[in-house]
Amino acid sequence: MDVKNVVFVYFSPTGALKRAITAFAEGMGLPSEAVDLTLPEARNGFRRTFGRDELLIAGMPVYGGKLPLYLDDFFAGLNGDGASAIATVIYGNRDYDDALVELKMRLEDRGFVVQAAAAYIGQHSFSPRVATGRPDQNDLAAIAGFGGQAVASIAADAFGTLNFKGTYPFTAVGYDPAKTGPYPTRPPVLTGEECDGCGLCATTCPWGAIDKNDWKTIDNTRCFRCFHCVKICPNQAKTVTDEKWLAFLPTFEARLNATRKEPELFLPE
Ligand SMILES: Cc1cc2nc3c(=O)[nH]c(=O)nc-3n(C[C@H](O)[C@H](O)[C@H](O)COP(=O)(O)O)c2cc1C
C-alpha cells in the first residue's frame, strides 16, 4: 500500500504517549497530522473518515492492563472503511497486559485493518519516580526507527499475524474509578487553600471530572488519578495526602522500577 498521509490520533493525559507517538509518526518520513483527543471537548463531535491511502496511528495509555474507560467517543469518531492502522500503547514499566489486543479490536470494529502495533514505556502517572522521564532519548530514537520499519512493512503489503501479548476474553481487570477496587490505587486528590481559582485544572482535566464552577469539587467516580491536575497546578494546590497511599508508594516504586522494560514493535509474521 502506498501511504500518502499519516494521521496520528491520541489520548495522553500526562503527555508521555504524545511524545512517543509523535516520534513514531516523524520516523515514518511522510506527511503527517496530529489529532489530540485528550480533552472531552476535542472528543465530543470528533469525526474523521479515512481514505485508503491514509494511515491511522492510534495511541492510548494502559490503565490496569487495559485501555482507559469512558473513551467511546474517541473510537466513535474514527471511520476506517478499510484503511490501514497502527495500534500503539504506552505503559508505566509494569505491563500492557490486554491493552494492545483491546485497541486492535476496537480499531477493527471501526473498519480499520491493523497492520502493525507498538508498546512504549512512559513515566508512570502515579509517581515521577517510576520510569522517570520516559520516553527518554534512547526510547525516542528506537521509536522513530519503528516508524520507518512500519512504513516499509505496510508499503510492502506484508501479510501475517501480529504476535503481541494479551488475551480475549480479557483477563486484565482495567481501572474503573466508580468501583472500590484494590486499595491503594484510589487516593482522593484534595484542593488546598493555595487554590486561587484560576480553573486550569478543570478546563484541562481529560475526564471532565473537576467542576468548572467549583474547582474543589472532584467527581471521584470519574477521576482516574492520572494526577494531571496535581502536576499542572501553578500554585501546587492539588495534593494527595492519603497516608496509606503515601506509605505504599515506596513499595510500588521499587516493584515497578525493578526491571527496565524496552519499547517493542510488532510487524506481521
Ligand atoms: C489509572 C491508571 C492505571 C495505570 N495502569 C497501568 C498498568 O496497568 N500498567 C502500567 O505499566 N502502567 C499503568 N499506568 C501508567 C500509565 O500507563 C503511564 O504512566 C503512561 O505513561 C501514561 O501516559 P500519558 O503520560 O500519555 O498519560 C496507569 C496509570 C493510571 C493513571
pLDDT tens track for 171-211 = 998 999 988 765 456 788 999 999 999 999 999 999 999 99
Ligand 1 centroid to residue 206 C-alpha, Å: 14
Phi, psi (rounded to 5 degrees) for 56: -95, 135
The pLDDT assigned to 58 comes to: 98
Q: Relative to the CA of 122, which ligand 1 atom is closest? A: 21
| Cell numbers that stand for 192 in this block | 488546598
Amino acid at 14: T
With beta carbons less than 8 A apart as the criterion, state whether 99 and 67 touch.
yes
- Provide the pairing of β-strand 264-266 with 78-79: unpaired
Distance CA 84, CA 70 (A): 25
Q: Which domains does the chain have, with CATH numbers?
A: 5-170+260-266 (3.40.50.360), 190-241 (3.30.70.20)
Ligand 1 centroid to residue 91 C-alpha, Å: 5
Residue of 119, 147, 127 lying closest to 26 (CA atoms):
147
Question: For a substitution probing ligand 1, which of 36, 63, 100, 256 has the most ligand atoms within 8 Å of its CB?
Answer: 63
> With 90 as the cut, is the pLDDT of residue 269 above it?
yes
Distance CA 266, CA 269 (A): 9
Question: For a substitution probing ligand 1, which of 88, 121, 124, 221 has the most ligand atoms within 8 Å of its CB?
Answer: 124
Mean pLDDT of the chain: 95
Distance CA 147, CA 30 (A): 10
